[in-house]
Amino acid sequence: MFITLEGGEGAGKSTQIARLAAFLRGLDLDVLETREPGGAPGAEAIRALLVSGDTGRWTPMTEALLHSAARADHLARSVRPALAEGKWVVCDRFTDSTLAYQGYGHGLGVERINALNELVTEGLRPDLTLILDLPVEAGLRRAGTRPGAEDRYERMGRDFHERLREGFLAIARAEPNRCAVIDAAADVETVAGAIARAVNERLIAGKT
Ligand code: TMP
Helices (H) and strands (E) in the chain, counts: 9, 5
pLDDT at 146: 78
Q: Which atom of ligand 1 is nearest to the CA of 150?
A: 2
- Strands in 84-163 per DSSP E: 88-92, 128-133
How far apart CA 6 and CA 131 sit, in angstroms, is 5
Q: Which of 5, 93, 130 has most ligand 1 atoms within 8 Å of CB, for mutation?
A: 93
Counting every residue, how long is the chain?
A: 208
Å from CA of 124 to ligand 1 middle: 19
Which residues does 146 contact at the CB level (< 8 Å), separation at least 6? 10
Q: Is 20 helix (H, G, I), strand (E, B) or coil?
A: helix
How far apart CA 84 and CA 153 sit, in angstroms, is 33
pLDDT along the chain (208 residues), means of 10: 96 95 97 98 98 96 98 98 98 98 98 98 98 96 84 93 97 98 97 98 82
pLDDT at 138: 94
Which residues does 9 contact at the CB level (< 8 Å), separation at least 6? 139, 140, 142, 143, 153, 154, 161
pLDDT at 206: 66
Å from CA of 152 to ligand 1 middle: 10
pLDDT at 208: 55
Q: Which of 101, 114, 152 has most ligand 1 atoms within 8 Å of CB, for mutation?
A: 101
Contact 126, 20 (CB under 8 A): no
Half-sphere CA count of 165, side-chain side, radius 13 A: 21
Backbone region of residue 7 per phi and psi (left: phi > 0; alpha: psi in -120 to 50; beta: other values) = left
Contact 50, 37 (CB under 8 A): yes
